[in-house]
Structure 1
Amino acid sequence: MVMVVVVVVVMAIAVVVWFEPASELKELFLDFLSVHDDGVHVREFDSRGDDVIAEHGSAKRLHEPFLTSKWPFQDVAAFSEDSFDVKEWINRTFKSAEAQENKDAFVSSLVMKLQLYVQQVNGALEETSQSVLSSLPRILRDTQLLQQETLALREKMIAVKQEIAKIEKDTASSMAMLEKIDRIKTELQTAKQGLHEADNWTVLANDVEEVFESGDIEAISNKLFSMQKSLAMLANVVDYEDKKLQLEGLKNRLEAIASPRLVQAFTAANLEQSKIYVDIFDKMERLPQLLKYYHNCLKVSLGQEWRRTIELAQDENVIYWLRVYYDKLLSSWHEQVKWCNQVFPNTSIDIHVEVYADLLKSLDPSISECIEAILKQHSNSVQLTILHELKQMTKYFATNLNGAIETSLRGKLQNEKLLSLAQAVYAPYVPYIAKYNTFQTAQLEHHLQFWHHSHDDLSDTINSLSLSISRIMGYASDANKQCKLFTEGCGYPGLLQSLNIFFNKYLEKYQQGLRQLERKKVKHEDWNLFQMCLTLMQNIGDLLHQVQQFEKSLVIDITEASNKIQNMNGSVFCQYKKLLLTSTGCADLENLVASFQREDKTILDSIIKSIQKLCTDLHHITYEVIFAPIFSQLLLVQKAPAWTLEANKMSNLSSDLPDYSFAPQEYITQVGQYLMTLPQHLEPFLLRDNPSLTQALKAADPQYVQGASESGFTSILLDIIARGTCQMFQDQTLGICQLNSVACKQLATDIDYLGNVLEELGLCLSENLQHMSLLLRLPSEDYQNGSSGCNARVVAAVRQMRNITSSG
């Protein structure tokens, strides 16, 4: 073995020295590390030998060479690691200064040391093997002894089991007899006790009158308690019911004697006396009756406090009374809960919740009567403000009371009783929530009464309407906020009714402004009146925009309020749907919220439609103001000199004149000049960015929605005026009775002039007027053929005016 190791090490080191790092190095060195004289691998020995070493205590001797040998490398244990790399280890070893100085000497020394190391390992292995082999006979002997003891224990367990089974079989009848005897004994003892208690009942019943005469409540209660225990043992006797009735009568007598003192103890908050009475009533099984006494005492005491508060502040009103009384109720709650926890701790919170609910429902005078009294002292416009102040005070009290209850309950909510208390707190406001729209309407109408909108001067009226929009929307927003605070969102159906009334009355002010505009209309051009029309149109558009924005915020607020009051997971004091609404109010609110999804109309639909109609009416007035000069000139068409009697007499002199010899008549030139001035008056309003006016025009006429262009709405309004001009011009010309050839050329010239003016404005003449101009110039003999494709009504009218006979 030694020779093999030496040879392997020498060959490995030689390879490293002369050929490092050669590819065969790792394989050679692994052979050196893993093979010894009996073919056992060192790593395998390590893994198997640890168990043997642990058992026989030879670990120190086995690993002693690793610990004591002095090697030129740091860690000999690295040979047994799974990640050991022979090449790396040899290269690292030969990097030392000693190896670089004399490689041959270093190799010889290293081979010798490795050989000694292998010898030490082999020696330790042989010693350990001998120790293990010597211990094996003793281990086998111990194992055999343990096996024999196990078999003996098994036999004993079987014998014990058989013995137990035999005992159970032999003593079954004896045990049944013992059980029967024990049952008979128990029955005898019960009978004995019954006879004793019957005798004791008789004695107690005979002595009880003497005890009652003494007036000692504690002695009486002890006597009755003893009788109660005796009666419990006499449940099967014939006269049990009579005895029970007799005992109940005695308890009633004791309760009648104790009640005045009990009330006095509760009223004076005497802790010691109260505990005594609680113990007495508890023993008599009459604790519920005791709690009723406490309930009534506390209720009477707090009720007297309410009357005392009113009497001491007769010059004040219910606002002051409630503020003071709510503070006293909260203070009393904390004091009474603390006191009750010492007297009857398991039921104190339930008692107080019931007492406060009963108290608030039975106050004399009631809170509702006090509220009604103060409302009668003020006008309708102020009543909602008073109600709002009272409601906020009550809400503050309810919040504090709820916090105190939750602190006392420590998570154990009594929802039904708490709901009854919460309903009692908010009960005074339920009828006012139901009539909320009445109060809100009165308040909003009050704002309108003190606003002077109508003035003798139309411009002042329009300016006043313009300035009022922000205030009116402010009143509407305040009403929305007040609805959320006073009704907690439950009164939105009533708010919408109030807003409809409010806005409709406000829109009446605009109607009055329109009537002033109507009275100001003239037949000649009045650009100042036209500007006032557009200014008012802009104001109405601004109002329409703000109402639509307000409506959106209103929908959001209603949705949020509905989600909040529909949530039943929070405190019962926040379940306002149950606290503030009647069944009718609940149905109205649910229908309102449902209308958001199932209907196309909006919640302020009637208001928006009224404003849109206002835009339409104002647009019509504006059109009439603009069209008035055109209207007055076109009324002169049938009286124009070109087709008068004198003109007909001179027709022969000018019938052969060319078309360019004719000039448009004054009436049409006046119309044309007026049309040419329109853009410069319209552009300051319509060409610039004016969202309010744009919205109003779109609401007034669908043409502004369909024909909006880069030039604003100037071209649309001009087109409307141009079409109106063409239509009236056509209607007036069709009323001319007769035209000669010269008059036909003149009328055609007038029509063409109007067409040129409209063309300058980017507009066009109506198709009927174009046909009329063509028909007026056709020679009589060509009229039938030349009129094909023209409007039949126009063709017939022109034929009649020219007195052309029809060939068809």
Structure 2
Amino acid sequence: MASSTAAPDILQSLDESDDVTTWINDTLSPDDASLDGESDLATLDHQLTSLVATLDIACEDTAAHLERVIDEVSRGVPRLTYDIHFMKDSATTLQLVVAKVSDKALNSFPPTTNDALDRLQVLDTIKGHMEAAREVLREAESWSSLEMEVTSLLGEQSYEKAAERLSEANKSMVVFQNTPEYESRRVLMVSLQNQLEACLSSALVAAINTQDVSVCRKYFTIFTNIQRESEFRNYYNGSRRSPLVESWQSTLSSSDAETTSHPNFVEFLRTFYDSFTTLLDAERISMPSIFPDPQVSLSSLIVSVLSSLQPSYSQQLSSLFERNGASALKELIATLKQTEGFAGNVGKIMEKLKFAASLSAPSPTAEGSENPLGRAPSHRRRSSRMSISWRGGMQRTISGAIGGSGKNAPVIDDNLDWDRELFQPFLDFQADYGSLERRFLQDSLQDILHRVSSQQKAGSDKARFLREATVDVFGLADEAMARCAAFTHGYGAVGLVQSLDHLFQTFIESWQTEADEKQVSSSSTHQPLSSADLADMDYTAQDWANLQQYLHLLAASRAIFDRLVAFESKLRSTLQQIASQFRLAEEDAHTFSIAPVKGEDLLLQQTTLNSAELHALLSGLSQRDVPPGDFQRAHAQPSQADASVSTPPLAAARTAVYAFAKSCQLSMQDTILSPLRRHLASYASSSLWMDARDPKSRTVTAGMSDLQVPSFSLSPSDSIQKVSEGLLNMPRLFEVYADDDALAFSLHTLPYVGEEVLKTIAEHHSTSFEGGSSRHMRRASLVPMQPVAPTLDPEAVTSTWLASLGHSLLNHIMTEILPGITTLTLAGAAQLSSDLSYLSTIMSALNVGSDDFEKWKEYVDASPEDGKRLLAERPKDDYVLRTVARMRGW
């Protein structure tokens, strides 16, 4: 800092500076710019000392000044109250004086002056009314020469002056309202307007065809002056749409259309839309110079073209289904895609028109008119007669026919109805998407099944064909999701889910016969069970083939279920995306739209697709799924499911898979138990039951005499021994399938597998799984929402199957075999009791038991006295007791 710098300058620079740090750096900068190294420390110290001293002095001066100001204010505050009170009193006095002066001023004028002023006001009002009446009468007087003047102007081809004369005369029509002369003058006005329009029509059409913008603009002004703006638009739209309408009609209504053009409708539509876009792009340049509302006028032109097509757009879409059936859905979607692309191009043209109009529009009038060009609105009331330019059916108005009433409905300009007119023909088909999709999938499924049926041969592996067909069916399902998104933009989600559910259900049920068949060809190539360790089992080659076939079908059902679960996950993800789109559109309808075109979206909102069922489906996606390790709930019946767990989207398909698996399981069990049932076929008719000997002794032949030897126990009959041996050999049979996952699938559909059994398996599975057991585990495909299911202990699976087989055989014995015994002697009863006891022991080893079977043992072993007592004591509806009583003659 230079030593000559004055203290006031320093303080002023500090007051003007915004940053203290910058001010200090600038203040301490050396004056000598020639110094290249560091500033001399002594000089810097001198500068700092001087600056601090200056600031201290300034602080003291400021503090002293502030004290003086505070002291002056403290002394002035009491005086302020007195001054305010004095001003209030002065104002009150002034008010009284002004009132007295006003009264004196009013009384100073005599009464005649007020009367004169009132009279002058009345005379001025009368003068204004008379002048207005004079102008009206002049207009009315001109009606006598109106026809002659207009006719003369038309003869001179002064069309603009004639239009102005008619416009002026039309303004005076209100004078004759509710008078006898009104109708005659109205008829004259319409007649003159018709003459002017007739004179202009040919020239107007020629100007439109040649795109003479200046002439069209002049004629538009003339038509507007005579209240014929709508007729001008009819001329304009009719001329501009003519090439497009003729192209449509000549292509789709030609004599050879049935064989040439119809199959290529999508390609024709692409060409048609290209021509349409070219026309609209040209109109984007010319319309702002002709019409005051180019966007509305362009929308009117689009509607005019679409409403003039013959055959109509709707008829053409309907003819697709008449010719191609359900497969026309794909062509219909392609047509919609073409239309959406065209709508996108039109939207860009409309946006360009909007910018052009905003740049070229003049300033608003003083009246605040909404029409910047000062023209009458394009939708003004039509005159009461029918214009000569009218064409039946050409001008159809749909503005206001479609309007959202919901609070979240998009705000759509009613004048710009081109997009709704464009997508209206698709609306009925979109609303009927569910049935269209179901028919398409049904026909496609029939084609797949027919192809598979033609490929199958006797003895072929039907499970392989089932798996191959499954690939095609799930391919159809993937395509269906894409069709739903393309055709309904998510509004058809309910129809999609129902159609897919019906598709999978129908497909699986179509193979039900394969699972129910009791015989398959013995020439099957799958016979790996002919090993020596199973040679002692009583299965024929046909039985082995049957068993293999059903096992493969069961494995195929498991594979179908796994794919179904994975597909459900994909479907759920798609539905969640749809729900997200709906939520965004609901929160901000102006920014987000479900359909790509707002008119299409508005139409879809008002169809039956936008139903409570759709919103329930989308809102239900938030519920939790079945946990991957929850084996018991996964195997539970639907009635046992937790209410908080979401229902699978394809519930009917899952039920069908379980039903198919159950049929395979029953057929497998019939095959496995068939040797045992063959051993029991003649059991009821055995002669053992009618043996009249004493059951407590047996006869032994020794030489020439029979010796009665006491018998302490009876051996089981040959049939029961063979059945028991077969039951004991069954675990060896299942050891062969230790590496097969099919047996672990759908255990809850096995016969006689109750909830307690599933609970036991679940607990055993959970313990083994959490303990990290290294033993081989079978994959269980019963966890509904998990594509890769956890595994189950093969021992638990085998024991479940053995228990089910044991119960099935036991039920067969109790319902089919034992009731067939007609007579049971004491010896026969003893033999039957021995058989049942032996069989019970074998069944216990398989963890199989039955209360009814215990009753059979008890009643068969009872003495006649005990039996009669039991008949008296037990309920009469005890079927087992009544059956045994009949056998033993009680």
When the two structures are superposed, what TM-score results if normalisation uses the length of structure 2? 0.61
1:427 equivalent among 425, 429, 434 = 425
2:195 equivalent among 249, 253, 258 = 253
* 1:323 positional shift: 0.8
Q: What corresponds to 1:351 in structure 2?
A: 297
2:709 equivalent among 640, 655, 674 = 655
1:532 equivalent among 528, 549, 573 = 549
Letter in 1 for 2:796: G
Q: What corresponds to 2:510 in structure 1?
A: 508
Letter in 2 for 1:216: S
Q: What corresponds to 1:323 in structure 2?
A: 270
1:448-471 superposed Cα distances (whole Å, 9 cap, x missing partner): 322247744556112222333233
Distance 1:280 1:663, change over 3 A: closer
1:272-313 superposed Cα distances (whole Å, 9 cap, x missing partner): 112212222333343333233323333335424545777999
2:670 equivalent among 612, 616, 624 = 624
SS in 2 for 1:364: coil
SS in 2 for 1:650: strand
Distance, in Å, in 2 between the alignment partners of 1:640 and 1:505 is 51
The reply to whether residue 340 of structure 1 matches residue 340 of structure 2 is no
CA contact (8 A) 1:318 1:371 kept: no
2:339 equivalent among 394, 398, 422 = 394
Distance, in Å, in 1 between the alignment partners of 2:128 and 2:54 is 95
SS in 1 for 2:309: coil
Letter in 2 for 1:713: V
CA contact (8 A) 2:516 2:664 kept: yes
Q: What corresponds to 1:681 in structure 2?
A: 733
The reply to whether residue 586 of structure 1 matches residue 608 of structure 2 is yes
SS in 2 for 1:450: helix
Letter in 1 for 2:241: K
The reply to whether residue 735 of structure 1 matches residue 821 of structure 2 is yes
Letter in 2 for 1:447: I
CA contact (8 A) 2:699 2:709 kept: no
Q: How many residues are paired up?
A: 675
Letter in 2 for 1:430: D
1:270 equivalent among 202, 207, 212 = 212
2:117 equivalent among 152, 175, 183 = 175
Q: What corresponds to 2:398 in structure 1?
A: none
Letter in 1 for 2:445: L
CA contact (8 A) 2:520 2:545 kept: no
CA contact (8 A) 1:541 1:693 kept: no
Distance 1:79 1:750, change over 3 A: farther
Distance 1:235 1:179, change over 3 A: farther
CA contact (8 A) 1:381 1:443 kept: no
Distance, in Å, in 2 between the alignment partners of 1:482 and 1:79 is 87
* 1:763 positional shift: 4.5
CA contact (8 A) 1:453 1:461 kept: no
Q: What corresponds to 1:670 in structure 2?
A: 722
Letter in 1 for 2:448: H
Distance, in Å, in 2 between the alignment partners of 1:301 and 1:492 is 42
The reply to whether residue 634 of structure 1 matches residue 649 of structure 2 is no
Quick check: which one's helix share is greater? 1
Letter in 1 for 2:203: R
Distance, in Å, in 2 between the alignment partners of 1:195 and 1:797 is 120
Letter in 2 for 1:524: Y
Which deviates the most, 222-231 or 710-719?
222-231
CA contact (8 A) 1:194 1:233 kept: yes
Distance, in Å, in 2 between the alignment partners of 1:319 and 1:225 is 50
The reply to whether residue 718 of structure 1 matches residue 802 of structure 2 is yes
Which deviates the most, 503-512 or 732-741?
732-741
CA contact (8 A) 1:758 1:764 kept: yes
Q: What corresponds to 1:477 in structure 2?
A: 478
Which deviates the most, 208-217 or 265-274?
208-217
CA contact (8 A) 1:465 1:510 kept: no
Distance 1:780 1:510, change over 3 A: closer
Distance, in Å, in 2 between the alignment partners of 1:146 and 1:683 is 117
Alignment of 1:163-242 (within 5 A): 164-166=105-107, 171-190=113-132, 192-193=134-135, 197=139, 202=144, 206-225=148-167, 227=169, 242=184
CA contact (8 A) 1:635 1:732 kept: no
Distance, in Å, in 2 between the alignment partners of 1:765 and 1:156 is 121
Distance 1:543 1:330, change over 3 A: same
Letter in 1 for 2:331: I
Identity of aligned residues (%): 17
SS in 2 for 1:713: helix
CA contact (8 A) 1:309 1:324 kept: no
Distance, in Å, in 1 between the alignment partners of 2:141 and 2:561 is 97
Letter in 2 for 1:672: S
CA contact (8 A) 1:493 1:588 kept: no
* 1:658 positional shift: 5.3
Distance, in Å, in 1 between the alignment partners of 2:864 and 2:102 is 145
Distance 1:331 1:72, change over 3 A: closer
* 1:668 positional shift: 3.6
What RMSD, in angstroms, separates the aligned Cα atoms of the two structures? 5.8
* 1:322 positional shift: 1.0
CA contact (8 A) 1:262 1:277 kept: yes
Alignment gaps of 5+ in structure 2: 1-49, 359-409, 525-536, 621-637, 640-646, 765-794
1:178-226 superposed Cα distances (whole Å, 9 cap, x missing partner): 2123234334544554565566555665544433322332343344456
Q: What corresponds to 2:450 in structure 1?
A: 449
Task: Flag the structure with larger Rg.
Answer: 1
Letter in 2 for 1:621: S
Distance, in Å, in 2 between the alignment partners of 1:236 and 1:371 is 52
Q: What corresponds to 1:696 in structure 2?
A: 746
Distance, in Å, in 2 between the alignment partners of 1:775 and 1:228 is 116
Q: What corresponds to 2:462 in structure 1?
A: 461
Distance 1:388 1:158, change over 3 A: closer
Which deviates the most, 597-606 or 628-637?
597-606
CA contact (8 A) 2:430 2:487 kept: no
Letter in 2 for 1:427: P
SS in 2 for 1:717: helix
CA contact (8 A) 2:248 2:272 kept: yes
SS in 2 for 1:655: strand
Distance 1:623 1:800, change over 3 A: same
Distance, in Å, in 2 between the alignment partners of 1:751 and 1:562 is 63
Letter in 2 for 1:707: V
Distance, in Å, in 2 between the alignment partners of 1:205 and 1:723 is 109
Alignment of 1:75-224 (within 5 A): 161-162=102-103, 164-166=105-107, 171-190=113-132, 192-193=134-135, 197=139, 202=144, 206-224=148-166
* 1:257 positional shift: 0.6
CA contact (8 A) 1:225 1:283 kept: yes
Alignment gaps of 5+ in structure 1: 1-67, 82-119
Alignment of 1:581-620 (within 5 A): 586=608, 608-620=654-666
* 1:675 positional shift: 1.7
CA contact (8 A) 1:430 1:580 kept: no
Distance 1:297 1:717, change over 3 A: same
Distance, in Å, in 1 between the alignment partners of 2:850 and 2:88 is 129
Q: What corresponds to 2:377 in structure 1?
A: none
